[in-house]
Amino acid sequence: MSSLFHAQHVDSAAFSWASIGLAVLTAIFQGLVAALAFMTESSSQWTFRFRLALVEHWWWTFVSVLLFVSLLMSTIAFTAGGGGDPVSVLALSSATFLAMVRYMLPAWQHRHYTKLRWYAWAGQSRTAVLINSAPLCGDARTWQRIISQVRPRLAELQPTASDYYGWALWTGSLQKNDPTDIIRVLEPNDFDTLELESNKPRVGIYASADPDTKTVSYLWGSSQGFLPRVSRAVSAMPLSLLKSSPTTSDGYDGRGLALAMGILGRNKGLQPWKLVFRQDSSISSLMENASTWTPRPAKVLRSFCKHTLQAQYGGLGEHYVNAAVELALLLSDLPPWAVEVWLTCGLEHQSLDINLFLAETALQGATDLVRKATLTAHYECSYVSMILSLNAMNPAMRHRQNSGIVKLLRPDLTCTEMLMRARGQDTSTWWDRKDTQALVQREISALSTDVDWKAQAARLLGPDVP
């Protein structure tokens, strides 16, 4: 065995120098990733920081492998007797195992969360735009044409730090600008020119319940040609909740809170203080005991979450805070693959397809009063629908292997009808239609048959309905 390391067979000096060179190279790589993480956090470039976190486990694996190879070479050189010394071997072995235990293993442990955090914070965003800007909200080609016309003006805007996308090998034709910034720099003559050039339908605009509204709700993202970016609501987040292993100021696990706050920063709509979520302790217990994810261990954090989210969202009313608490607790309980599928399906948002179906098809011929009541109810019940799509998710999602084949949906139509009945409003115009009932059956089939989610919906939306 000793002959294996004999100087005649091993160029120990070469191994020693190779070990030193590799160690220096590794130190550069290690310093680079640590510096990038620090710089992006300190400058609030959260889009870039969250993107870096998506590959940190691979980066630290690469660094650890280089350190281990360097250690192996140094050990061979020292054992062969032609170079190296025990102190350098000891120091390198300490550095190698420190990198593995302190950085690589935690990065692998948190990789699922950092991926969910990206989806939760950088998914499609819902924002308000003026009604006269709505015709400009088209597809990716429409936005490219608009940007080419106003690019010099966009360059003069003060950039938002959290929007900075960072280094990328290739982004295709996706645009880095925020649509609200693009609309903000448009001038009156631009509107005339662009509207004459395009007769394409609007993309991402929710139909409004108020025919006299001055603003409409716009859902935008990569489907309209925009690069993903972290919601600007990140500026209101405590720094401890933005870490790859988030904790609250009291030392509690903050993953559910951080994910929920990312979602809530993107899906509010125009009047979040009107969203309905009538929850009390009895309904909380009902939802905890009748759930796809029972026994829901995160329920013990309900009081703490409510205290934290009351401080964050108290201005939007009790119903909003109740929904935020339930969302945070559910995101803490669900397995990562279930949350990932739910987010990639866009189920955190009020269904745009259902909104347009109601406005353009089901409510054709309805009175203005019924139309307004229906579209209003669809928006105001949207958080109940969101929570039920999580709490009563198809039980097949308990198993990772089903994550790519199970179809997930929100019960938007069912909740809309329940809220209108609770208010004593007429739903016969649209509810009894065959196409509506076909969509309702799709919603029902996508949720758990073992959970009486309709009973939960009825209590969350108002007085019990038959």
Nearest to 321 by CA among 307, 333, 334: 307
**Joined tokens for residue 94:** 């300490």
DSSP track, 249-307? TTS-B-HHHHHHHHHHTT---S-GGG------HHHHHHHHHSSTTTT-GGGGGHHHHHH
Q: What are phi and psi of 392, to 5 degrees?
A: -110, 35
Residues 371 and 405 in one domain: yes
What pLDDT, in 10s, does the model give residues 12-38?
A: 667 666 777 777 787 787 788 888 889
What pLDDT, in 10s, does the model give residues 32-90?
A: 888 888 999 999 999 999 999 999 999 889 888 888 887 787 777 767 665 556 766 67
Instruction: Answer whether residue 218 shows pLDDT above 90.
Output: yes
Query: Which of the given ranges, 8-12, 179-183, 411-415, has the highest pLDDT on average?
Result: 411-415
Nearest to 443 by CA among 416, 409, 417: 409
* SS3 state of residue 374: helix
pLDDT attached to residue 97: 79
Please check whether residue 229 lies inside any domain of the structure.
Answer: no
For residue 208, give Cα distances in angstroms to 136, 374, 417, 450: 17, 11, 18, 35
Cβ distance 417 to 411 under 8 Å? no
Residues 409 and 374 in one domain: yes
Q: What are phi and psi of 175, to 5 degrees?
A: -95, 140
Residues 100 and 200 in one domain: no
| Residue 127 DSSP symbol | E
| Burial (CB count within 10 angstroms: exposed 0-12, middle 13-18, buried 19+), residue 83 | buried
Residues 239 and 265 in one domain: yes
* SS3 state of residue 123: coil
Residues 330 and 426 in one domain: yes
What pLDDT, in 10s, does the model give residues 89-147?
A: 677 777 777 778 888 899 999 999 999 999 999 999 999 999 988 888 888 888 888 88
Range of the domain at 358: 234-461
Instruction: Answer whether residue 466 shows pLDDT above 60.
Output: no
Q: What confidence tier does 9 reach under pLDDT thresholds 50, 70, 90?
A: very low
Cβ distance 126 to 349 under 8 Å? yes
Question: Of 203, 224, 245, which marks where a domain is finished?
Answer: 224
Q: Averaged over 411-431, what is the pLDDT?
A: 96
What pLDDT, in 10s, does the model give residues 291-326?
A: 999 999 999 999 999 999 999 999 999 999 999 999
pLDDT attached to residue 85: 65
Rounded-to-integer distance, Cα 98 and Cα 93, Å: 8
Residues 253 and 390 in one domain: yes
Question: Of 224, 243, 275, which marks where a domain is finished?
Answer: 224
Residues 86 and 156 in one domain: no
Please check whether residue 170 lies inside any domain of the structure.
Answer: yes
Residue 379 CB neighbour total at 10 angstroms? 23
Please check whether residue 302 lies inside any domain of the structure.
Answer: yes
Q: What confidence tier does 328 reach under pLDDT thresholds 50, 70, 90?
A: very high
pLDDT attached to residue 248: 86
Nearest to 376 by CA among 203, 129, 131, 210: 210
Question: Of 198, 224, 250, which marks where a domain is finished?
Answer: 224
Cβ neighbors of 361 (< 8 A, separation 6 or more) are 435
pLDDT averaged over every residue in the chain: 88
What pLDDT, in 10s, does the model give residues 164-186?
A: 998 887 877 788 888 989 988 88
Q: Give percent of the chain above pLDDT 90.
A: 63
The more confidently predicted of residues 259 and 95 is 259
Residues 254 and 165 in one domain: no
Residues 99 and 128 in one domain: no
Instruction: Answer whether residue 196 shows pLDDT above 50.
Output: no
pLDDT attached to residue 463: 73
Q: What confidence tier does 7 reach under pLDDT thresholds 50, 70, 90?
A: very low
Nearest to 257 by CA among 311, 215, 209: 311
Range with the lowest mean pLDDT among 111-125, 137-151, 233-247, 334-348? 137-151
Rounded-to-integer distance, Cα 417 and Cα 374, Å: 8
Please check whether residue 214 lies inside any domain of the structure.
Answer: yes
Please check whether residue 116 lies inside any domain of the structure.
Answer: no
Helix axes 302-313 and 318-333, enclosed angle (nearest 10): 130
Element (H, E) at 156: none
Residues 154 and 263 in one domain: no
Encoded amino acid at 457, one letter: A
Instruction: Answer whether residue 193 shows pLDDT above 80.
Output: no
Please check whether residue 374 lies inside any domain of the structure.
Answer: yes
Q: What confidence tier does 5 reach under pLDDT thresholds 50, 70, 90?
A: very low
Instruction: Answer whether residue 431 shows pLDDT above 60.
Output: yes
What pLDDT, in 10s, does the model give residues 371-388?
A: 999 999 999 999 999 999
Residue 366 CB neighbour total at 10 angstroms? 18
pLDDT attached to residue 72: 80
Residues 193 and 331 in one domain: no
Please check whether residue 115 lies inside any domain of the structure.
Answer: no
Rounded-to-integer distance, Cα 412 and Cα 388, Å: 10
pLDDT attached to residue 419: 97
> H helices of 281-381, where?
281-289, 302-313, 318-333, 336-344, 352-357, 368-380
- Quote the number of domains for the chain: 3
Q: What confidence tier does 422 reach under pLDDT thresholds 50, 70, 90?
A: very high
pLDDT attached to residue 175: 85
Please check whether residue 363 lies inside any domain of the structure.
Answer: yes
Element (H, E) at 442: helix 434-446
Q: Averaged over 256-276, what is the pLDDT?
A: 96
Residues 211 and 338 in one domain: no
Q: Is 204 left (phi over 0), alpha (psi -120 to 50) or beta?
A: left
Per-residue 3-state assignment (H helix, E strand, C coil) for 178-247: CHHHHHHHCCHHHHHHHHHHCCCCCCCECCCCCCCCCEEEEEECHHHCECCCCCHHHHHCCHHHHCCCCE
